[in-house]
Amino acid sequence: MIIGFDGKRAVSNMTGLGNYSRLVLEELSGAFPDVEMRAYTPRLRDNARLATLRQRPKVRFELPVKHPLEPAAVWRTWGLPAQLRNDGVTLYHGLSNELPLSIRKAGIPSVVTVHDVIYRTMPECYSVIDRKLYDWKYGCSCRFADRVIAISECTKRDIMRFYGVPEEKIDVIYQGCAPQFKRQWSDTEKEDVRRRLALPQRYIVQVGTIERRKNLELTLRALPWLPEELKLVVVGRATPYLAEMKKLAEELRVADRIRYIHDTAFADLPGICQCAEAIAYPSRYEGFGLPVIEGLESGRPVIAATGSCLEEAGGDAAIYVAPDDVQGMAEALRAATDGTLDLGAMRQRAARHTARFDTSRMAENIAAVYARLGVRL
């Protein structure tokens, strides 16, 4: 038996879709070590985040079998099914929203994981071309797949709403949280990451690509209402939106209270979260909201925004504010950092809630989806 996967994001993406793809491959190959798994990718690169997968003898990365002049995108969209057929693949799983548009020619069952349809819910965040391309490719993938995995109930509702996919075809399987966030760092380790990354003594952290949808603006506007010794650390890839936020910080006179980190190692993220006094994640819309889970696993108070799936991700263990409620955000951050919040009770609620995001449970649930299609790992 050979299970095929879309390996592009696992190889090339360092955040969201890449993290999910690597985690699925790691957990499935760990839970089912005798099953051969092949990840198909247009190219390979020197990616340290693939170290675990490279040590798994039954996991292989496959490059395109195609004409040298054929673009990789054409192979991934149209040519891959022939390669799957030739390789004797039993089932194919698209891990990042899409399947080859000719997947039915492979003659095998297919599954697609859909993370979000934000290009539909917040079209202003995308160019017209990207929006139309994603809508076409991902919509076709949802319709062509034999089963669709949604990473949240929110995403499931969006798939049904925008693409007319019947509810009985969709399985909700929550993304597991990387186990690194469960381990509590020692004081020595925390001091080391503080020194290396020049972290403030007291700070709030917001993690995620610095783009309009993530709503860093709300956290910035709340900062003047908090004690001056409390800083803000922003961790994430920069986009043009960053310039707007730096200008806003100057206008609010809080620019000297902000530390931006754009290229930190994934291994440092748990430490950055555990050194923080609170986690801010006021994103206007998400398909899942993994930083909420990571913050809870780190044992820190999490303040998230209402309106998408974040209340699903945080359950009763997080604090929620409307995405434009500056005073509400300031009050929540103040309660999380001045001793008002009962941190012990919060951690107990977090432990109960985050149990549903255990990575081994994710692997079992994905295997159950395959079994519904007659493929038993």
From start to end of the chain, where are the E strands? Answer: 2-6, 36-40, 59-62, 91-94, 110-114, 147-150, 170-172, 203-207, 231-235, 258-261, 278-281, 302-305, 319-321
DSSP structure class, residue 285: -
Instruction: Assign domain 2-176+358-372 to its CATH architecture.
Output: 3-Layer(aba) Sandwich (3.40)
Quick one: average pLDDT of 216-233?
A: 98
Name the residue ranges covered by the structural domains of the chain: 2-176+358-372, 179-356
Signed CA dihedral, 332, 181, 200, 286: sign only:
negative
Does 95 score more than 80 pLDDT? yes
pLDDT at 244: 97
Quick one: average pLDDT of 53-67?
A: 91
Tens of pLDDT, residue by residue over 122-159, are 998 899 999 999 999 999 999 999 999 999 999 999 99
pLDDT at 247: 98
Domain 179-356 sits in CATH at: 3.40.50.2000
DSSP of 159-201: HHHHH---GGGEEE-PPPPPGGGTSPPPHHHHHHHHHHHT--S
Closest CA to 261 of 179, 195, 205, 344: 205
Q: Do domains 2-176+358-372 and 179-356 have the same CATH topology?
A: yes
pLDDT at 130: 93
pTM value is: 0.89
Quick one: average pLDDT of 285-299?
A: 92
Strand partners, 110: 92
